[in-house]
Amino acid sequence: MKIYDFTGAPNPRRVRVFLAEKGINNVPFEQVNIATADNRKPEFLKINPMGGIPVLELDDGTHIAESVAICRYFEDLKPEPPLMGVDAKDKGVVEMWNRRMEFEVLGMAAGSFRNTSDFFKGRIPQVKEYGEVCKSAAIKRLEWLDTVLADREFIAGPRYTIADITALIGIDFGRTTQIRIQENQKNLARWHQAVSSRPSAKA
Binding site for another protein (CB under 8 A): 49-50, 56, 58, 60, 62, 64-66, 68-70, 72-74, 76-77, 87-89, 91-93, 95-96, 99-100, 104, 125, 127, 129-130, 133, 144, 148
What minimum distance in Å lies between the beta carbon of 65 and another protein? 5
Residue 30 backbone phi and psi in degrees, to 5: -120, 130
Report yes or no: 53 and 34 within 8 Å, Cβ to Cβ.
Answer: yes
Name, in order, each residue with C-beta under 8 angstroms of 61's C-beta and a sequence gap of 6 or more: none
Of 15 and 201, CB closest to another protein: 15
Name, in order, each residue with C-beta under 8 angstroms of 16's C-beta and a sequence gap of 6 or more: 5, 29, 203
Of 74 and 173, CB closest to another protein: 74
What minimum distance in Å lies between the beta carbon of 38 and another protein? 20
Of 107 and 174, CB closest to another protein: 107
Of 81 and 193, CB closest to another protein: 81
What minimum distance in Å lies between the beta carbon of 175 and another protein? 23
Report yes or no: 150 and 187 within 8 Å, Cβ to Cβ.
Answer: yes
Of 119 and 144, CB closest to another protein: 144
What minimum distance in Å lies between the beta carbon of 199 and another protein? 25
CA 84/CA 61 separation, integer angstroms = 26
What minimum distance in Å lies between the beta carbon of 202 and another protein? 25
| DSSP H stretches of helix in the chain | 10-22, 42-47, 67-77, 88-100, 107-116, 128-148, 162-174, 186-196
The DSSP call for residue 156 is T
